[in-house]
Chain A
Amino acid sequence: MMSSRTILAAAGLVLFSTTATWAGDVRIMWYSDGVEGEVFKDLIKRFEKENPDIHVTVDEVAYSTIKEQLPVQLAAGHGPDIARVTNLKSLSQYWLDLTPYLKDVDFWKKNYGDQLDWMRPDGSDIIPGFMTQITLTGGFANKTLFEQAGVPLPGEGAIWEDWVMAAKKVADSQQIPYPFAIDRSGHRITGPAISYGANYIGADGTPAPLDDGAKKFISDLVGWTKDGIAEKDVWVSAAGTTYRPAADDFINAQVAFYYAGSWQIPNFMTKIGDAFDWVATGSPCGPAACTGMPGGAGLVAMKATKNPEDVAKVMDYLASSPVAKEFSERTLFLPANKEVLAGDLDFKTDSQLAKDALKIFVKATSTTAPEAQELPGWKWSDTYYGALVSRVGQVMAGELSLDEAYKRIDQDIADKVKEAQ
């Protein structure tokens, strides 16, 4: 028979285990676009085998949870020990400086140094984490539909107008509802806007008012939407700053030309399969450039963690070149690690379409405009993107004129800057 002391001790243990963070416990908040969650959990299992004293819990959540709930948790002093995030700069005050805990700081600086400014406060030299993947926005064309319509794919150097009009010809010929689609996202329309000559960053580093380049692309996009060339549904299907991808319409062959980014490659490979042929097209050109927007997701450590040493061990393991290489090869993501990039990447896929698309995105990185390179490390990017997406959505829904939207975008950004000061 169990003594009452044993029962009390057990009860105490259970109670304590539910409220306390044990040394050796590391909690990671992770979201997935495709298969990377499975790959990541597999790598973590291997880490736990090699480090039996550290227990890692992976909480797989929706992207919207990371975007909407993580900032509130962090501001309240809670949250995971590590998280995979995309809004790296605007939350950088919550990231932990891993420098004192890392095994080899020089390795981190050498291999991940180019993107460290994207995730640390302005003027800081901390190492809060690393990019799990680098992404670049760019287009995808439904090659089968183009071929069936007898419309040649616009070649290198083709401008936005060329692509959009070619897609319209395909849609008319093949009786599909949308010639062209672009995600409902401020980040997504920024690459094309920069190609049209936009620059969001003012002389003093604060947001500049919308310039003619940005206005021109927005007005073209709104015009294409009004003419039924660009998909309206995805843009008007939500209010505010809500992110909406048009990937499902492309996967279902409802769109001839789709502007998204490199992170969609594994998704298309899995979901489209043999249904039709698709190709990555890079970013169409504007008068100023032919640029996509760089970006990506980073794995960052939290300042509020109780176990910085264990967190650093996990981060060291995941950032190491063999693990980063395996992660990229299995997920088909472009790696950030320079050593891995320089070596031979053997993407684990039989799909020639995916391999060709990856090559095109790697090639497109060379045409990324300097204005686009600066934005991931600029702290007002998310503010700018938010204002763009909510107001352009209203224009497309017929609630605002273009001129009213331009004024509102500038005002929204100015309000946010004032509020933050």
Chain B
Amino acid sequence: MADNRKGFRSTAGSLVLAAVERIMGIIDIPLRGLQKVAGRTGMAAFFLLPNMAVFTIFVLIPFVINFVYSMTGGAQIFLDQRRYVGLDQYRQIFSCTDYLDPNSCIQDGFWIAAGNTAWFVVIQVALMILVSLITAIILNREIVGRSFWRAVFFFPVLLSPVVVGLIWRWILDRQGLLNFILYEAFGSEPFNWLTDRTTAFAATIGVSVWAHMGFYTLILLAGLQAIPKDLYEAAQMDGTSRSRVFRRITLPLLMPNLVVVLVLALIRAVQVFDEVFVLTHGGPGTSTMYLIQYIYETGFASELRNPGLAAAASILMGAVLVVLTLMQMAASRRKEKKGER
């Protein structure tokens, strides 16, 4: 019986292989002809073409259109109906008497959003790395139900940002779960966590860390597992303290992964929008209005909409993202070089 099964498998395998060879043979003929005309370099370009076409259609052309938009004014959507205003939109954004005081700027909303985003990025990224690192270290140990805990920490990453925002809204609302628990436990008066400037800002950071830390924990966990065990064994034999092992072995060997996590977390934090938009809608006032929401409100949602200004703001934000992406590429290259060594 087992022999029969084996024989069937090998026959089926040979048939599939033969079919693949036949197909490749058919494809091979025009490709050989193309290679004769285009040469080896030309063939490389040919294979890159689909990817480049997608990049051009979905990234490059929209970027150019966005840039042209930022040089136009008016509320019209079609470019041919919009009037050319040169760098006016940028001038408006940068018209401030004191850059540290958004109220002194003509486009105060942009600077408020930029300031909020800067604070958010600094605090959220630091917290994200710290929490992810601690979680990864714990999950790397021989703890009971390790696979279960890994799934638990990764689960929020799979949730839609809207779901994340709504869940936390129900928890943090005045009549939400947190106030209920606090009332039951301590009899405390209900507090609206989402309409107080400090707690709302903290909530956006906390929720964002909760929602994304699973992804970064996974990267760091992979890095931790790649560290050779014999290094730890040697340190243990030498009687090295735990903190010294962490500082001298774990941290240096985890550094390439940490750099990647840092850059990815930075990019993601600058782009924060969806879950925060559902959670606080930018409030209270404008204290959790971040750059993407400003661009969205200015371009689409507000009665005072101004697509040109929104385009200019997105170009400025794009510039920041380009710098961060270059940092990520440099970090990846460094990691690759270290790997080669």
Q: Do A and B bind each other?
A: yes
Asked if A397 contacts B197 (CB within 8 A), the reply is yes
Contacts between chains A and B (CB distance < 8 A), count: 101
Number of A residues, CB within 8 Å of B: 41
Bound: A237/B199 CA distance, A? 13
B-chain residues with CB within 8 Å of residue A397 when the two chains form the complex: 197, 283-287
Asked if A387 contacts B304 (CB within 8 A), the reply is yes
Q: Check if B194 is an interface residue, CB within 8 A of chain A.
A: yes
Q: Check if B306 is an interface residue, CB within 8 A of chain A.
A: yes
The residue of chain A having its C-beta at the shortest distance from the C-beta of B290 within the complex is A239
Question: A387-B304, A397-B286, A408-B108 are contacts. A240–B194 as well, Cβ < 8 Å?
Answer: no
Most buried by B among A75, A177, A419: A419
Q: Check if A287 is an interface residue, CB within 8 A of chain B.
A: no
Bound: A69/B77 CA distance, A? 12
B-chain residues with CB within 8 Å of residue A219 when the two chains form the complex: none
The residue of chain A having its C-beta at the shortest distance from the C-beta of B309 within the complex is A419
Asked if B73 contacts A237 (CB within 8 A), the reply is no
- Of B109, B174, B194, B285, the residue contacting A396 (CB under 8 A) is B285
Q: Check if B241 is an interface residue, CB within 8 A of chain A.
A: no
- Residue interface bits A381-407, CB-to-B below 8 A is 1, else 0: 011011100100110111110001000
The residue of chain B having its C-beta at the shortest distance from the C-beta of A387 within the complex is B304
B-chain residues with CB within 8 Å of residue A404 when the two chains form the complex: 103
A-chain residues with CB within 8 Å of residue B289 when the two chains form the complex: 239-240
Bound: A394/B190 CA distance, A? 23
Asked if B293 contacts A241 (CB within 8 A), the reply is no
The residue of chain B having its C-beta at the shortest distance from the C-beta of A239 within the complex is B282
Q: Check if A72 is an interface residue, CB within 8 A of chain B.
A: yes
- Of B78, B197, B281, B306, the residue contacting A242 (CB under 8 A) is B281
A-chain residues with CB within 8 Å of residue B283 when the two chains form the complex: 236-239, 393, 397
Asked if B304 contacts A237 (CB within 8 A), the reply is no
Asked if B284 contacts A237 (CB within 8 A), the reply is yes
B-chain residues with CB within 8 Å of residue A390 when the two chains form the complex: 302, 304
Q: Check if B74 is an interface residue, CB within 8 A of chain A.
A: yes
Tell me whether chain B's interface is mostly helix, strand or loop, or mixed.
loop
- Residue interface bits B62-88, CB-to-A below 8 A is 1, else 0: 000000000001111110000000000
- Of B285, B300, B304, the residue contacting A393 (CB under 8 A) is B285
The residue of chain B having its C-beta at the shortest distance from the C-beta of A74 within the complex is B77
Question: A233-B195, A238-B283, A239-B293 are contacts. A420–B304 as well, Cβ < 8 Å?
Answer: no
B-chain residues with CB within 8 Å of residue A387 when the two chains form the complex: 304
The residue of chain B having its C-beta at the shortest distance from the C-beta of A394 within the complex is B285
- Residue interface bits A90-107, CB-to-B below 8 A is 1, else 0: 100000000000000000
Asked if B76 contacts A75 (CB within 8 A), the reply is yes
A-chain residues with CB within 8 Å of residue B76 when the two chains form the complex: 75
A-chain residues with CB within 8 Å of residue B287 when the two chains form the complex: 397, 399
Q: Check if A15 is an interface residue, CB within 8 A of chain B.
A: no
Asked if B303 contacts A241 (CB within 8 A), the reply is yes
Q: Check if A339 is an interface residue, CB within 8 A of chain B.
A: no
CB distance from B78 to the nearest CB of A (A): 7
Bound: A87/B288 CA distance, A? 28
Q: Check if A344 is an interface residue, CB within 8 A of chain B.
A: no
Q: Check if B274 is an interface residue, CB within 8 A of chain A.
A: no
Bound: A390/B108 CA distance, A? 12
CB distance from A61 to the nearest CB of B (A): 15
The residue of chain A having its C-beta at the shortest distance from the C-beta of B85 within the complex is A419
Bound: A407/B135 CA distance, A? 50
Instruction: Mark out the residues of chain A between 96 and 140 whose CB falls within 8 Å of any chain B CB in the assembled complex.
Output: none
Q: Check if A2 is an interface residue, CB within 8 A of chain B.
A: no
Bound: A412/B106 CA distance, A? 9
Bound: A47/B105 CA distance, A? 56
A-chain residues with CB within 8 Å of residue B280 when the two chains form the complex: 237-238
Asked if B306 contacts A419 (CB within 8 A), the reply is yes
Bound: A394/B112 CA distance, A? 12
- Of B74, B192, B285, B301, the residue contacting A241 (CB under 8 A) is B301
Bound: A380/B147 CA distance, A? 60
Q: Check if A68 is an interface residue, CB within 8 A of chain B.
A: yes
Asked if B75 contacts A420 (CB within 8 A), the reply is yes
A-chain residues with CB within 8 Å of residue B285 when the two chains form the complex: 236, 239, 393-394, 396-399
The residue of chain A having its C-beta at the shortest distance from the C-beta of B74 within the complex is A419
- Of A241, A394, A419, the residue contacting B75 (CB under 8 A) is A419
The residue of chain B having its C-beta at the shortest distance from the C-beta of A233 within the complex is B195
A-chain residues with CB within 8 Å of residue B304 when the two chains form the complex: 241, 383, 386-387, 390, 412, 415-416
- Residue interface bits B95-135, CB-to-A below 8 A is 1, else 0: 00000000100101100100000000000000000000000
- Of A239, A411, A412, the residue contacting B297 (CB under 8 A) is A239
Asked if B301 contacts A68 (CB within 8 A), the reply is yes
The residue of chain B having its C-beta at the shortest distance from the C-beta of A382 within the complex is B303
Bound: A359/B190 CA distance, A? 38
The residue of chain A having its C-beta at the shortest distance from the C-beta of B282 within the complex is A239
Asked if A75 contacts B77 (CB within 8 A), the reply is yes
Bound: A252/B175 CA distance, A? 11
Q: Check if A84 is an interface residue, CB within 8 A of chain B.
A: no
CB distance from B60 to the nearest CB of A (A): 21
CB distance from A381 to the nearest CB of B (A): 9
CB distance from B332 to the nearest CB of A (A): 36
Asked if A239 contacts B302 (CB within 8 A), the reply is no
- Residue interface bits A226-241, CB-to-B below 8 A is 1, else 0: 0000001100111111
- Of B73, B77, B109, the residue contacting A419 (CB under 8 A) is B73
A-chain residues with CB within 8 Å of residue B282 when the two chains form the complex: 238-240, 242
Q: Check if A1 is an interface residue, CB within 8 A of chain B.
A: no
B-chain residues with CB within 8 Å of residue A239 when the two chains form the complex: 281-283, 285-286, 288-289, 293, 297
B-chain residues with CB within 8 Å of residue A242 when the two chains form the complex: 281-282, 301
Bound: A207/B84 CA distance, A? 25
The residue of chain B having its C-beta at the shortest distance from the C-beta of A73 within the complex is B77
B-chain residues with CB within 8 Å of residue A275 when the two chains form the complex: none
Bound: A115/B76 CA distance, A? 26
Asked if A240 contacts B301 (CB within 8 A), the reply is yes
Asked if B195 contacts A241 (CB within 8 A), the reply is no
Bound: A236/B285 CA distance, A? 5
Bound: A394/B103 CA distance, A? 12
Jot down 20 A-B pairs with beta carbons below 8 A, ordered by A.
A75-B77, A90-B303, A233-B174, A233-B192, A236-B284, A237-B280, A239-B282, A240-B289, A240-B302, A242-B301, A387-B304, A390-B304, A394-B285, A397-B285, A398-B197, A415-B304, A415-B306, A416-B304, A416-B306, A419-B73
The 3 closest A-B pairs by CB, nearest first: A397-B285, A239-B282, A386-B303
Residues of B within 8 A of A (CB): 73-78, 103, 106, 108-109, 112, 174-175, 190, 192, 194-195, 197, 280-289, 293, 297, 300-306
Residues of A within 8 A of B (CB): 67-69, 71-72, 75-76, 87, 90, 177, 232-233, 236-242, 252, 382-383, 385-387, 390, 393-394, 396-400, 404, 408, 411-412, 415-416, 419-420
Given contact pairs A239-B285, A241-B301, A386-B302, enumerate 7 new A-B contacts (beta carbons under 8 Å). Answer: A75-B77, A76-B77, A237-B280, A240-B289, A252-B175, A383-B304, A420-B74
